[in-house]
Chain A
Amino acid sequence: MSVRYLLGRVGLALLSLWGVTVLAFVVLRVIPGDPALLMAPVGASQADIAEIRAQFGLSGPIWLQYVAWVWGTVRGRFGKSLWLQQDAIRVILERLPATLEVALAALVLAVAGGILLGVLSVLWRRTWFESATLGAGTLGLSIPNFIWGLLFIVFFGALLRWLPISGRIAPDFDIAPLTGFLLVDTLLRRDPGAFGSVFAHLILPAAALALPLLAVVFRAVRSDLLTAVQEEYIVMERMKGLGELRIIFWRALKNALIPTTTLVGVQFGFLIGGTVLIEAIFSWPGIGQLTLAAFQYRDFPLIQGIVVVYAVTVILANFLVDLAYAFLNPRVRYA
């Protein structure tokens, strides 16, 4: 991968970041709801409200407000949350690991599960297994993740009582945060009981978040594998005497993962978006819940900070996907 390619990628990333912030900034100020009105005490005069506006940088033309905000943001000052009266970025970064933990768990689950099902459905094609996975794939795809979340809560939480349905860890454990990723923190603190509790709490929200993506990955891997096994180079692997299992797992899968990787990159954005509702359903203390509250309070600095963090996360994820793509497909390495 050349320096020029990398620079181009970084430039594109900055451009999309800029676009996202402009959009968020303008939309926030155009939709109804004025934070100054919300903050003002009952019976405040127009002059009081105007003063609140000035105090929080909400007065003047939008473009001036934007320039002032960008100038602060590039120096790491995202502004103070109107609602929590704390540094917006600190509030966000405190809660970011919770969101990333459930999103990454869902991503791993979706990619690993999707690949496994895709491979098996091709390996055992023309059997009952193929029909069963195809049916399950359609089901997974056609129900959105928050509905899966509600179904899981009712079934595994309320009826069977197998798994916890609220929060990240049972309240009787007290883990001082190190990385903020509780799976990691409990391991670092050598507390297997707490680790188990974190793991159990993670299963349902991660599974609900993962299911539609798992179905997408499954279908992509399956169809790309079916194309790959017809390719002349896979036929040649058979001609050399390689077994079908080995061909599919160790050869054709790598070919099939090239298009699938691009797809996962696109889908990761949706996965991050999906955390907002999943966090609300499972009382998960991440930035998804924070987003909902921030909107209720019209907490502009907080919302703007959240938008930046979400955008950076998705852009970084896509950058990683590009790296994975270059690894899988030697033909783009020199492009």
Chain B
Amino acid sequence: MLLQVKDLTVRYGGHLAVWEAGFTLGEGEVLGLVGESGAGKSTVGRALLRLVPEPGRIVSGAIAFKGRDLLGLPEAELRALRGAEIALIPQDPLAALNPAFRIGLQATDALAIHRGLSRREAAGVMARLLARMGIPDPEDTLRRYPHEISGGMRQRVLIAIAFSCGPSLLVADEPTTSLDVTTQAQILRLLDGLRSETGVATCFITHDLGIVAHLTHRVAILYAGCLVEQAPTETILAAPLHPYTRALVRSLPLEGIMPALREPPRACPFSDRCPERMAICDTAHPPLKSVGAGHQVACHLY
């Protein structure tokens, strides 16, 4: 197993963001991490690089990557993994490139640090990579500042950065959310092409079930920081079990809003909005139970 996340709990000051989330990722596998805004999906994604934004802290749990304990790793060894073995494609390409530096410098960092290439050599590699990403004049793009190119171009640059060192784990954090619809489709096609070509295991964070259906092998559903269901993509789409997943897959309207997580959870976080709420839902947090081949659900109904 490439990646094994166990009981991951993340906290922002006094507020709990992720509660005992666990999942695995095999070589070449694509896992969709699905949930609405604030469900903790991005936090989980960044925890995989141990870069939860301040004041966030990984409180407990374990992340094993290629058999190494990421949470116990010294900072220097972790840096050697970041951008090389584990790469991230960010959500907002406008915010993710430094406005004060040319793209060439920012795009060659990973190659210079991890592959020991000179900036000139790295720029050559980058230019070839950018050409494959459909950027018409890569040398010119590398000389430009981020504000001089479009959002779609910036996202192509960030994807090229993520792939530049041949990572074995990719975290794609809603990579198309901030792009317009036509660009979204292009970027997704590009990303899926690169992924299947390189066979990189991917954790695809999204709230878009269309993307899930097309790109992922397996899905984990997050709700209010808790992992509520996990199954192969076809199973999730065809036979969702958790009432939240069912509402999500069938686009059913839900009353109310997602609650903040209480600690430790003494009730099902979804009970307030659940159409099938029972007495036990308000008194006990449902554990994740195996209900079929690779299918787990955290609900008192099962």
Q: Is B15 close to A, CB under 8 A?
A: no
A239 x B97 contact (CB < 8 A):
no
CA distance A234 to B83 in the complex (A): 14
A234 x B98 contact (CB < 8 A):
yes
Q: Is A241 close to B, CB under 8 A?
A: yes
What number of residue pairs across chains A and B have CB atoms under 8 A from each other? Answer: 74
Chain A residues within an 8 Å CB radius of B83: 239-241
Chain B residues within an 8 Å CB radius of A236: 88, 90, 96-98, 106, 158
CA distance A95 to B31 in the complex (A): 74
Pairs of residues from A and B, 5 with the lowest C-beta to C-beta distance, nearest first: A240-B83, A241-B83, A232-B95, A241-B82, A233-B98
- What is the size category of the interface that chain B forms with chain A? 20 to 34
Q: Is B147 close to A, CB under 8 A?
A: yes
Q: Is A258 close to B, CB under 8 A?
A: yes
Chain B residues within an 8 Å CB radius of A262: none
A237 x B109 contact (CB < 8 A):
yes
Q: Is B51 close to A, CB under 8 A?
A: yes
Chain A residues within an 8 Å CB radius of B238: none
Q: Is A251 close to B, CB under 8 A?
A: yes
| Complex partner residue of A243 from B79, B114, B161, CB under 8 angstroms | B79
| Complex partner residue of B98 from A238, A251, A328, CB under 8 angstroms | A251
Q: Is A231 close to B, CB under 8 A?
A: yes
Chain A residues within an 8 Å CB radius of B95: 231-233
B147-186 interface with A by 8 A CB criterion: 147, 158, 161
CA distance A287 to B82 in the complex (A): 57
| Complex partner residue of A233 from B79, B87, B88, B96, CB under 8 angstroms | B96
CA distance A329 to B161 in the complex (A): 23
21 of the cross-chain contacts (CB-CB < 8 Å) are A231-B95, A232-B96, A236-B88, A236-B90, A236-B98, A237-B109, A238-B51, A239-B82, A239-B87, A239-B90, A240-B82, A240-B109, A241-B82, A241-B83, A241-B109, A241-B110, A243-B79, A251-B101, A329-B99, A330-B100, A331-B99
Smallest CB–CB gap between A75 and chain B, Å?
45
Q: Is B36 close to A, CB under 8 A?
A: no
| Complex partner residue of B82 from A230, A232, A238, CB under 8 angstroms | A238
Closest B residue to A232 using CB positions: B95
| Complex partner residue of A330 from B53, B84, B99, B110, CB under 8 angstroms | B99
Smallest CB–CB gap between B214 and chain A, Å?
26
CA distance A231 to B92 in the complex (A): 12
Chain B residues within an 8 Å CB radius of A234: 98
Chain B residues within an 8 Å CB radius of A255: 98-100
Chain A residues within an 8 Å CB radius of B97: 233, 236
